[in-house]
Structure 1
């Protein structure tokens, strides 16, 4: 048996509070995938990042939920680089991370906030409200009245983006079993439900993310889904910048900033960022 130190970091926190907890393991080169999975299950947060050396980037990072490995995780990426900077292992600057979703740039800002690049969006199937609404415990007409599509998009992981009218987000009654079956059938990670806020609000949209198929009943900040939603809002509203709130229903509010770069009308870069905060350090035996 060996003891592994795991740092728990609040990703996308607001003034050090809320956010989404991610585990981070440094110097993970000697750990097997089986050990990583065991550690992630013991840690019990939605994702744990394992940082290793890379021959093609500054770091290689793998991501494990309590039940499986995933190709990419935004909030765990933020946590990993925030921790490296917090421990003075890296200065502010630009870095490359090797992931199963590709080699992706990450920027550590002078104030310690993290801005990470995601894959350019891949647009998948659209779905109808009659199929999706019962899994959220709402009437299909509520989704239809938004006049926006239910769309599966990936900027690293595929989520189904679901618009609901303002005021409906906190009233959802989730059928986790049905969402799990749907996501397994359609090879997606989860549902990212959002409501557009009023123009004077500090957040462009408020969001909730449900991914029971990968062991996450609800998540308080989802970086990969936020990148996908930013691309969606660019497509339908022309937004280049958006700020999202997530986790309100969990009393773990998070703030997620997105920036898009375009050239001749074509997306060239998707960035998602925010602050991190130290929560605690734990030891796991493996």
Structure 2
């Protein structure tokens, strides 16, 4: 039996002539109700991308989403969520702007407007890790002179380690020790590292970033919605950037560049972040036929 999988690039950048470029590809399988866990894992392996999303009916939300890497099921995936809801919207399957997804980790709100999908994240929590600083720098082959911000664990539903570097050249020059990054990620129960600089490629961006998640079989990816949210919170809470809307760049420093733009919107009460949403545009790049 053959099954068609949409390959959708999430968080694409729109050029001045209206073309969509870059982004982070995810597999999307619609009408996945009859697929078993083993079949979903097999499909994700055949697709070979960092994540594939499987959409089925839900009794508690508008859609149920299951996310699989080529090696395991995971609770959430930002870029696969954006890819999925943009695809659903393009097919006329989302009748109203505000919708929702059920995952193995609960229900999250999603909104789709003007060709852009946004997913909700939780209020942030922070954990300083001074005892890890030397090992983190070693895992990135960075010197203390190249670092602008010490490693900080930030969680808005998933844990990421944020590391600030002084400029985009230092970001581009990072040579990751993936084994050590994986070891530290396992010790701290991280999705991965989100390394960033305030020295951006575009004047409209607040930061440019790189994402390393070898614990989940992802050496580096072009756009990470679940990590851009924690970074936006950090910029507001810790760096005192007085704004609630942030554009985060990612993918510019990859060996094969895939420029991506992620938009984070903070929701405040009395100047305190209560929740946030991260969103972007997406484009179907191709369809792939796989065995079931």
Give how far 1:137 is off: 1.1
| Matches of 2:129 and 2:88, distance apart in 1 | 39
Give how far 1:75 is off: 0.5
Partner of 1:56: 60
Give how far 1:129 is off: 2.6
Partner of 1:93: 97
Is 2:192 the counterpart of 1:186? no
Partner of 1:112: 115
Give how far 1:92 is off: 4.9
Q: State whether residues 28 and 84 of structure 2, in contact with CA within 8 Å, keep that contact through their aligned partners in structure 1.
A: yes
SS of 2:281 mapped into structure 1: strand
Give how far 1:122 is off: 3.3
- Structure 1 residue aligned with 2:24, among 14, 20, 24? 20
Partner of 1:270: 276
Partner of 2:231: 229
Partner of 2:126: 123
Give how far 1:199 is off: 11
Give how far 1:119 is off: 2.4
Partner of 1:137: 141
SS of 1:248 mapped into structure 2: coil
Give how far 1:116 is off: 1.5
The aligned runs of 1:142-153 (5 Å cut-off) are: 142-143=146-147, 146=148, 148-153=149-154
1:17-51 Cα offsets, whole Å, 9 max, x none, are 10000110101111111211111111011111111
**Count of matched residue positions in the alignment of Structure 1 and Structure 2:** 281
Unpaired segments of 5 or more residues in structure 1? Answer: none
Q: State whether residues 129 and 140 of structure 1, in contact with CA within 8 Å, keep that contact through their aligned partners in structure 2.
A: no
Is 2:85 the counterpart of 1:81? yes
Is 2:152 the counterpart of 1:159? no
Give how far 1:198 is off: 6.2
- Structure 1 residue aligned with 2:175, among 173, 179, 191? 173
- Aligned-CA RMSD value: 1.7
| Matches of 1:282 and 1:89, distance apart in 2 | 21
1:132-164 Cα offsets, whole Å, 9 max, x none, are 111111113322xx2x33111222321111111
1:138-192 Cα offsets, whole Å, 9 max, x none, are 113322xx2x331112223211111111131001011111111211222111110
| Matches of 2:44 and 2:124, distance apart in 1 | 28
Give how far 1:267 is off: 1.6
Q: State whether residues 78 and 276 of structure 1, in contact with CA within 8 Å, keep that contact through their aligned partners in structure 2.
A: yes
Give how far 1:125 is off: 4.9
Give how far 1:196 is off: 0.8
Partner of 1:214: 216
Partner of 1:40: 44
Give how far 1:100 is off: 2.8
| Matches of 1:22 and 1:179, distance apart in 2 | 23
Query: After the TM superposition, which of the residue ranges 29-38 and 12-21 deviates more from structure 2?
Result: 29-38
SS of 1:96 mapped into structure 2: strand
TM (normalized to structure 2)? 0.92
